Amino acid sequence: MKQNSVWPRRAEFSRLQTSRLRQLALWGMLSLVPLSAKAATTNVSAEQIASLASSAQPMAATTKPDVAPALKPAAAEDLQAWLERVSHAAQRRNYSGIFVVQSGGRMVSSTIDHYVTKGSTLEKVETLDGERRILLCQNEKTRTILPAERLVVVEDHQADFSFPRVLKTPRAELSALYSMQHEGQERCAGYVCEVTRITPRDDLRYGYRLWTEQTSDLLVKAQTLDSQGNVLDQVAFTQLNLNPEPKPDMVAQALRGTGGYQVEHMRATPTTSRAQGWTLSKPPPGFKSVGIYQRRLLLRAKPVEVTQWLFSDGLASVSLFGGSTADTQQHGASLHMGETNALLDRKGAWSVIAIGAVPTKTLQLFADSIARLR
């Protein structure tokens, strides 16, 4: 592809998200779309596509648990209610530790500190492998610090959908899309955890296996499964403290020494599909629009207008990015890394990129349904 291809960043991998496709849930992973605002696009050759696709081999099936499971349907509690409890635990309690993301043949470790004190939420995530990246969330403001580039990227929203959070939208018809089974208990990061399997009812989404600490409901480990039960992605705590002492000056300390850094504000303006000239004839079953934004990105020091349309079924999420282009990008080009897929489509003089933690078939349905109104 030529250099002026407009590729979104996958920061939602995913703390899906406003626009982060689950992005920060796997935020520390060396992903197919760069985190840096300066590198909001990427040049993708056929060789790179083949390399990424070949590296996205599923890991071995789940090993035998430490505690023998007793498989039984989770009839006593609705899937939606259970996921809300797990997500609330990640939002409302204090915890710190180290978690490891495994995806597409890559492994990245990060530290996380999460505190809720006096009505304020503070979170810091810092990569331990590869290029140093620091994510700071303070209530409704998110900053990404890239020391190697002397850059701070500021976004005016809370990154609220990353590990250890799981729920993408507060209300969804999840029981019609997934089934849930409890599989007993296993130890993880030194804690006894309840193991729960979430299985899709069709082939348009992936399955999940989740480990939650039995007393707090905090998510300790998560796997994304393909239709054969193979592990596509895994994120898990290797060290976890459920009662850390809050650090109210954590954000201020992390920002020290960034006085001379360039600051870029990544702004997203809510809009409508009609105002942006897009329509979707038939979204894949279960996926509903959760927002559409006009984004202004800097591409080689030149402003580029991109429309981002977000969809979710409550667990899985997809973003559609649309922008004008004058290059000759290959129709149908795709990228794969673990559970995350990306698909390029052309609509006349416009390029559309569908990206999300869903099977390629689902992205193709989105690409086939989106069209220009003018």
Percent of the chain with pLDDT over 70: 72
Of 260, 266, 247, give the one whose Cα is nearest residue 111.
247
Rounded mean pLDDT, 12-16: 29
Radius of gyration for the alpha carbons in the chain, expressed in angstroms and rounded: 20
What three-state secondary structure class fits 331?
A: coil
pLDDT tens by residue, 201-215: 999 999 999 999 999
φ, ψ of residue 162 in degrees (nearest 5) = -100, 170
Does position 14 have pLDDT exceeding 80, yes or no?
Answer: no
Torsion of CA 52, 53, 58, 59, to 10 degrees: -30
Mean pLDDT of the chain: 76
Q: Residue 318 is part of which domain span?
A: 47-56+267-372
> What are the start-end ranges of the E strands in 166-206?
178-188, 191-200
Which residue(s) pair with 116 in the sheet?
A: 121
- pLDDT band with cut points at 50, 70 and 90 for residue 171: low
Whether 262 is covered by a domain: the verdict is no
pLDDT tens by residue, 49-64: 232 222 222 233 333 3
Taking the C-alpha atoms of residue 160 and residue 164, their distance in angstroms, rounded to an integer, is: 10
Quick one: residue 300, left, alpha or beta (phi over 0 = left, psi -120 to 50 = alpha)? Answer: left
Copy the structure tokens of residue 234. 């895994």
Whether 276 is covered by a domain: the verdict is yes
Whether 271 is covered by a domain: the verdict is yes
Q: How many domains are contained in the chain?
A: 1
Taking the C-alpha atoms of residue 78 and residue 82, their distance in angstroms, rounded to an integer, is: 6
Query: To which H or E segment does residue 106 belong?
Result: strand 106-117
Whether 175 is covered by a domain: the verdict is no
Whether 84 is covered by a domain: the verdict is no
Of 204, 305, 281, 291, give the one whose Cα is nearest residue 20.
291
- Residue 74 is predicted with a pLDDT of 47
Whether 312 is covered by a domain: the verdict is yes
Around Cβ 250, how many Cβ atoms within 10 Å?
Answer: 16
Whether 306 is covered by a domain: the verdict is yes
Residues in the chain: 374
pLDDT tens by residue, 318-331: 999 888 765 545 56
Does position 129 have pLDDT exceeding 90, yes or no?
Answer: yes
What three-state secondary structure class fits 53?
A: helix
Does a cis peptide bond (omega within 30 degrees of 0) precede residue 164? yes
CB 354 within 8 A of CB 342: yes
pTM over 0.75: yes
Does position 152 have pLDDT exceeding 90, yes or no?
Answer: yes
| CATH code where residue 352 lies | 3.30.200.100
Name every residue whose Cβ is closer than 8 Å to that of residue 56 and which is 6 or more positions away in sequence. Answer: 104, 105, 232, 336, 337, 338
Whether 279 is covered by a domain: the verdict is yes
Within a 13 Å sphere around the CA of 308, how many CA atoms are in the beta-carbon half? Answer: 30
